[in-house]
Amino acid sequence: MQITIVHQHVPADAAADERDVLDQASAVKTALTANGHAVSVLPCTTDLGNLQRKLEVLKPDCVFNLVETLDNSGRLIHLAPAVWEVAGVLFTGSSADALYLTTHKLLSKERMCAAGLPVPEWVQGEAPDARHPTLDTRRSVQRADWIVKSVWEHASIGLGDDSILRGATAAEVSARVPPGSFAERFVDGREFNLALLAGPDGPEVLPPAEIVFVDFPIGKPRIVGYQAKWDDASFEFAHTVRRFADESADGPLLAELKRLALRCWEVFSLGGYARVDFRVDADGKPWILEVNSNPCLSPDSGFAAALEKAGIPYTDAIGRIVRDACGSRGRSPMPTECGGGRVSSRAATGNAPIITWRYEVTPADVAAIREVTASTGYFHDDEVTVAVELVEERLAKGAASGYEFVLAECDGRLIGYTTFGPVPCTKSSFDWYWLAVRPEMQGFGFGKQLLQQVLARAKAMGGTRLFCETSGRPQYATTRAFYEHMGFTLCELLDDYYEVGDGRATYTKKL
User: Can you give the pLDDT at residue 350?
Assistant: 41
Average pLDDT over residues 21-44: 93
341 — pLDDT class (breaks 50, 70, 90): very low
pLDDT value at residue 5: 95
Find which of 136-140, 173-177, 339-343, 390-394 is predicted with most confidence, using mean pLDDT.
Answer: 390-394
Distance CA 188, CA 192 (A): 13
Confidence of residue 343 (pLDDT cuts 50, 70, 90): very low
Per-residue pLDDT tens digits for 178-187: 887 888 888 8
Whether 155 shows a pLDDT value over 80: the answer reads: no
Is pLDDT larger for residue 216 or for residue 256? 256
| Virtual torsion, Cα 37, 42, 44, 50, nearest 10 deg | -100
Which residues lie below 8 Å from residue 459, measured CB to CB, with a gap of 6+?
Answer: 511
CB 443 within 8 A of CB 332: no
- In angstroms, the CA 183 to CA 89 distance is 38
Weakest-pLDDT range from 48-52, 138-142, 149-153, 314-318? 138-142
Q: Rounded to whole angstroms, how far apart are CA atoms 238 and 178?
A: 30
Between CA 450 and CA 376 the distance in angstroms is 16
Read off the pTM.
0.61
Among 243-252, 333-342, 394-403, the range of highest mean pLDDT: 394-403
pLDDT at 134: 52
DSSP per-residue letters across 190-223: EEEEEEEE--TTS-EEPPPEEEEETTPPTTS---
Nearest to 210 by CA among 248, 188, 242: 242
Query: Which overall architecture, per CATH, does domain 2-92+322-329 show?
Result: 3-Layer(aba) Sandwich (3.40)
- pLDDT at residue 443 in the model: 66
53 by Cβ neighbours in 10 Å (0-12 / 13-18 / 19+) ranks as exposed
- In the sheet with 144-150, reading across from the earlier edge strand, the strands are 122-124, 181-185, 144-150, 164-168
The single-letter DSSP state of residue 76 is: G
So what's the pLDDT on residue 3?
93
H helices of 35-150, where? Answer: 48-58, 79-87, 96-103, 105-114, 137-140
Q: How many residues does the chain have?
A: 511
Residues 303-313 have a mean pLDDT of 94
Higher pLDDT, 479 or 328: 479
* pLDDT one-digit tens code per residue, 436-494: 988 777 767 788 889 989 999 999 999 999 999 988 876 677 678 778 888 899 998 89
Q: What is the pLDDT of residue 254?
A: 94
Range with lowest mean pLDDT among 204-208, 287-291, 324-328, 338-342: 338-342
Q: Tell me which amino acid residue 242 is.
A: R
Percent with pLDDT over 70 in the chain: 88
Contact 313, 320 (CB under 8 A): no
Is the pLDDT score of 192 beyond 70? yes
Please give the pLDDT value at position 27. 95
Distance CA 141, CA 403 (A): 71
Question: In which band, very low, low, confident or very high, does the pLDDT at 159 lie, cut at 50, 70 and 90?
Answer: confident
pLDDT value of position 349: 35
Q: What is the pLDDT of residue 331?
A: 34
> What pLDDT is stored for residue 180 in this prediction?
79
Q: How confident is the model at residue 342 (pLDDT cuts 50, 70, 90)?
A: very low
- Mean pLDDT calculated for residue range 414-438: 93
For position 498, what pLDDT does the model report? 82
- The upper half-sphere exposure of residue 396, i.e. CA atoms within 13 Å in the direction of its Cβ, equals 8
Mean pLDDT calculated for residue range 219-234: 75
Map out the domains of the chain as residue ranges: 2-92+322-329, 336-463
In CATH, which superfamily holds the domain spanning 336-463? Answer: Gcn5-related N-acetyltransferase (GNAT) (3.40.630.30)
Mean pLDDT within 372-378: 80
- Determine which of 67-76, 90-99, 233-242, 472-481 has the lowest per-residue pLDDT on average: 472-481
Cα–Cα dist 86/70, whole Å: 19
Distance CA 27, CA 7 (A): 13
pLDDT at 126: 55
Is the pLDDT at 267 greater than 80, yes or no?
Answer: yes
On average, the pLDDT of the chain sits at: 84
Q: Which of 49-53, 136-140, 268-272, 344-348 is predicted least confidently? A: 344-348
Candidates 102, 185, 111; CA nearest to 148 is 185
Beta bridge partners of 444: none
Range with the lowest mean pLDDT among 163-177, 196-210, 332-346, 385-399?
332-346
Q: Quick check: 377 pLDDT over 90?
A: no
pLDDT at 374 over 90: no
The SS3 call for residue 491 is strand
- Looking at 310-319, 383-392, 498-507, which range is the least confident one? 498-507
Would the pLDDT of 70 be above 70? yes
E-strand spans in 281-423? 286-292, 336-338, 341-343, 356-358, 404-410, 413-422
What is the residue-wise DSSP string for 404-434? EEEEEEETTEEEEEEEEEEPTT-SSEEEEEE
Q: Which residue has the higher pLDDT, 431 or 237?
A: 431
Residues in Cβ contact with 36 at an 8 Å cutoff, skipping those fewer than 6 apart: none
CA-to-CA dists, residue 418 to 174, 414, 435, 478, 485, angstroms: 61, 11, 4, 18, 18
Cα within 13 Å of Cα(233), Cβ side: 1
